[in-house]
Amino acid sequence: MSDRAEAARRRMVRDCEALGRPVRIMEVCGTHTVAIFRSGIRASLPKGLTLLSGPGCPVCVTEQGYIDTVLELAQRDDVILATYGDMIRVPGTAGSLETVNRPGVRVVLSTDDALALARERPDKTVVFAAVGFETTTPATAVAVGQAAQEGLDNFCILSGHKRVVPAMAALLSDATNRIDAFLCPGHVSVIIGSEAYRPIAQRFGRSCVVAGFEPVLILEAMAAICRQLVEGRAEVESLYAAVVRPEGNPRAMELIDRYFEPCDGPWRGLGRIPEGSLRLRAEYERFDARRRFGLEERVAPEPAGCRCADVLCGRIEPVACGLFGSRCTPDTPVGPCMVSSEGACSAWYKYGRRGGRDGAG
Amino acid sequence: MALGDSRKILLAHGGGGRLMSRLIQETILPRVRQGDADMPLTDAAQVSVDASALCFTTDSYVVQPLRFPGGDIGTLAVCGTVNDLAATGARPVALSLSLILEEGFSLDILESILESIGRTAGALGVPVVTGDTKVVEVEAADGLFINTAGIGVKVPGSALGFDRIQPGDAVIVTGTLGDHGMTILSRRKGMMFETSLESDCAALSPLTCRILEAVGEAVKFMRDPTRGGLAAVLNEIASGSRCDIEIEESGLPIRPAVRAAADMLGLDVLNVANEGKMVLIVAPEAAEQVLAICRADPLGHEAAQIGRIGSPGEEGGLVELVTRVGGRRVVQMPYGRDLPRIC
Amino acid sequence: MCLAVPARIVELNDDRAVVDAMGNRWAIRTTLLPEAKLGDIVLVHAGFAIATVDEEEARQTWELFEQIEQLRTNEPTGTEGAG
């Protein structure tokens, strides 16, 4: 098994030497970020090869205005705020779901649990904090469909759902980007299919390689990227064929499309991304929490000094942020990249402590 | 039944009157003391010990659910306190038992938990010698809280402490990780999944005493990885000894069921609680002998050396995990509350 | 937001299924995977099956393959020893 890892590593070393220039690969999947750090891959990369942690964590790219709206809803007595555990510690302008500590905040494992809450408590409105990329959106679509079918009027969602490919395009549209290629997310690709990256490869000339999450698969995907760079190709490859089909999951895509429509929306650090967000279609907007509670989309300023935005764009590494490791740590997170366990800063913190001490930065 | 028809705890059971006296005499003592119920009951127990050093510990138990596969709050209340004594190198001698009951609590459940306490303490030969019972109003407690305190005597020849830990020492764990925490999670409201897992809840003093008697000072330090799991204990050891610790991912004993459940919930097994495991820091030359003693005992048959103590660190030592692909990552002190994640 | 784990469908009733992963059983939905059959190994994310795992392709991967091998060989009792 580690033979395969070693072989991939050797191919990378050879190809990076042949290229004779720095190579920057951006991973746009928080699970990859974590897998890369957990397995310590970064420490074993050939010289000149850098991994940038892109906007792959839905918590990290959720704008603070959204978090503030979630907090506002959580503090209403007539609301049960259902959320995935990932959101509990994300700081808004004033506190987090953990610190507001309201009995109406419930961690759910699936949208089914949120629907069950709505059935149990007809006296309350259950608001589901619907965050996540295309992997997670279909489950929200199913819940909205079911609420509509059952006439479950005390259920609604606050859509923070986002689309990965428009964000990749937005990153590349910035002339200062330093991205040579993308390590494409595994489970987002299960839904959208590897073919979804073809426009990125064709229009921007960047390799897009879909990878699984085992360290060996990540190394092999990176080796495939290096090969493409050496051979001057920019193609879509999938090295995760066990679950990723070129066309994705048609049923899931159809459900997203039935209930949601793309819209321009704010991403933390990336600004408004054309078609980067999803909102409920007009037929289902009665399930939109903003509409139900008459809430405006809020725009909150980034916390002072926080450079999560630059981290998410791959412009700086987390250690270059003045708050990193001092005011901003996993226990006292300032920005979302520190609070999310998938966040680049949180992951760097674990690894960077050692790096800093050894002077290897 | 003498305690009333409802088979429920009443506020009067804690009132210091006849009802309380009967609860203690008829319900608690016969179960907890098993065969030794005639021992006089006093506010403070007199315990004779012959030792140069006495160890004393206390712990409170508020686990939910109260009963789970592999044990209940009663087994936990005995094992947890006994294990705290075991970790300090002591042989447990006696326990106290304080019950805080919620009004309306089921007497049937209480009896079965008291029987667990009696059975577990009896098997260890560590008597419950004193106790207390309080009843609080509905919702002032979650069914039943237990506090146990324990005293023990130091095993002669043992010498444990952070200051004894040296680079090169072996890090040994007495069995698989995460079984208890994952079992409890599977039964928690809103989390329910069915599992074949059982809590590893067990009292380890028979094993730790045997090890200390065999290798004495070669054991440098022990701690049971309960809340916060292995990650918390190793970080405490790194910070206390001011030495780095290196552990091997491939050497960690973890049941596939625990790993699969952790993956499903997005949790790190290293942060998950254990209730029947001990982490030992042992001089390298004694490591094989300690492992052999563990493996010959049902309490430690899946024991493994998982790593070793590294060089002294400037800021108090880091815990590093060497991964299966040869990478390294720092194992952090857990935040304190692991939530299920989907990302 | 993409944690997903392989598990085997051991009960299936319309779009409600029970999956088994090493002796742990979870209630999930197969709404997104109408083609799912009893016995299939599926990838589960946030309570929903999102893909059928192609076992032939899975052989090319590493831990995923190990995981599904264990799903095959460990019957739901899951009394396997240390991993």
Q: In sequence order, what are the beta bridge partners of A238?
A: A210
| Mean pLDDT rounded to a whole number for chain A | 90
Which of A34-38, A52-56, B301-305 holds the top average pLDDT?
B301-305
Question: Phi first, then psi: what are they for A70, rounded to 5°?
Answer: -60, -45
CATH of domain A2-57+164-238: 3.40.50.11750
Backbone angles phi, psi at A129, to 5 degrees: -75, 95
Contacts of B327 in chain A (CB under 8 A): 39-44, 215
Q: What CATH class does A64-162+248-292 carry?
A: alpha beta
Residue C82's pLDDT band (boundaries 50, 70, 90)? very low
Look up tokens 């509905």; give the residue: B138
| Residues B112-159 pLDDT 10s | 999 999 999 999 999 999 999 999 999 999 999 999 999 999 999 999
Lowest mean pLDDT among B2-6, B127-131, C2-6: B2-6
Contacts of A133 in chain C (CB under 8 A): 1-2
pLDDT at A355 over 50: no
| Domain B162-330, architecture per CATH | Alpha-Beta Complex (3.90)
Please answer yes or no on whether B193 and C26 come within 8 Å at the CB atom.
Answer: yes
Report whether pLDDT(B107) > 90: yes
- Asked if the Cβ–Cβ distance from B342 to C45 is below 8 Å, we say yes
> What is the topology classification, in CATH, of domain B11-154?
60s Ribosomal Protein L30; Chain: A; (3.30.1330)
User: What is the distance between the alpha carbons of residues B52 and B153, in angstroms, rounded to a whole number?
Assistant: 8
Sign, CA torsion A63/A68/A71/A72: negative
Which of A1, A57, A112 comes nearest C62 by C-beta?
A1
Distance from CA of C45 to the nearest CA of B (A): 7
Residues shown for chain A = 361
Cis ω before A103 (30° cut-off from 0): no
ipTM of the predicted assembly exceeds 0.95: no
pLDDT value for C65: 54
Q: Does the distance separating the beta carbons of C63 and A139 come in below 8 Å?
A: no
Residue whose C-alpha is closest to residue B49's, from B160, B159, B155: B155
How far is A200 from B334, CA to CA, in rounded Å?
Answer: 39
- Across the interface, whether the CB atoms of C82 and B257 are under 8 A apart is answered no
Q: Is the separation of the CB atoms in B147 and B76 below 8 Å? A: no
With a CB cutoff of 8 Å and minimum separation 6, the contacts of A248 are A189, A190, A191, A192, A193, A194, A195, A196
| Cβ–Cβ gap A217/C61 under 8 Å | yes
- Among B97, B118, B89, B79, residue whose Cα is nearest residue B204: B79
Domains of chain C by start residue, with CATH: 5-73 (2.30.30.140)
Please tell me if the domain spanning A2-57+164-238 has the same topology as the one spanning A64-162+248-292.
Answer: yes
Render pLDDT for B218-233 as a digit per residue (tens, 0 to 9): 999 999 999 999 999 9
Question: Using an 8 Å Cβ cutoff, are B3 and B26 in contact?
Answer: yes
Give residue-wise pLDDT tens across range B8-50: 999 999 988 899 999 998 999 999 987 665 666 677 888 888 8
Q: Point out the least confidently predicted range of A85-89, A214-218, B168-172, C29-33.
A: A214-218
Q: Which residues of B touch A (CB under 8 A)?
A: 190-191, 265-266, 313-315, 318, 320-330, 332, 335, 339-343
User: Poorest-confidence range of A306-320, B20-34, B329-343, C56-70?
Assistant: C56-70
In contact, A140 and A84? CB cutoff 8 Å = no
State residue B166's pLDDT score: 97
Question: Would strands B194-195 and B243-248 be described as parallel, antiparallel, or unpaired?
Answer: unpaired
- Interface contact A190-C43, CB threshold 8 A: yes
Report the 3 state secondary structure along C23-79: CEEEEEECCCCCCCCCCCEEEEECCEEEEECCHHHHCCCCHHHHHHHHHHHCCCCCC
Residues of A in contact with C33 (CB under 8 A): 249, 251
Does B29 contact chain C (CB < 8 Å)? no
Q: Is A86 in Cβ contact with B318 (below 8 Å)?
A: no
A341/B341 CB distance under 8 A:
yes
What residues does each domain of chain A span?
2-57+164-238, 64-162+248-292, 308-351
Report the alpha-carbon angle B165-B171-B177, nearest 5: 135
- Neighboring chains of B (3 or more beta-carbon pairs < 8 A): A, C
- Which residues does chain C have within 8 Å of residue A186's beta carbon, measured at their own beta carbons? 2
The pTM of the full predicted model, rounded to 2 decimals, is 0.88
B–C interface: beta-carbon pairs under 8 A: 78
**Alpha helix ranges (H) inside chain A:** 2-19, 30-39, 64-74, 97-100, 111-120, 137-150, 164-173, 186-192, 198-204, 215-230, 250-259, 289-292, 308-312, 336-339, 344-357
Q: Do C70 and B256 touch (CB under 8 A)?
A: yes
Interhelix angle for A30-39 vs A215-230, to 10°?
Answer: 110
C81 and chain B: CB distance < 8 Å anywhere?
yes
Token look-up 């500590």 returns A101
Chain C hits for A86, CB-CB cut-off 8 Å, are 1
Chains linked to C by 3 or more Cβ pairs within 8 Å: A, B
Whether chain B has a CB inside 8 Å of the CB on C14: the answer is: no
For the segment B93-118, the average pLDDT, to the nearest whole number, is 96
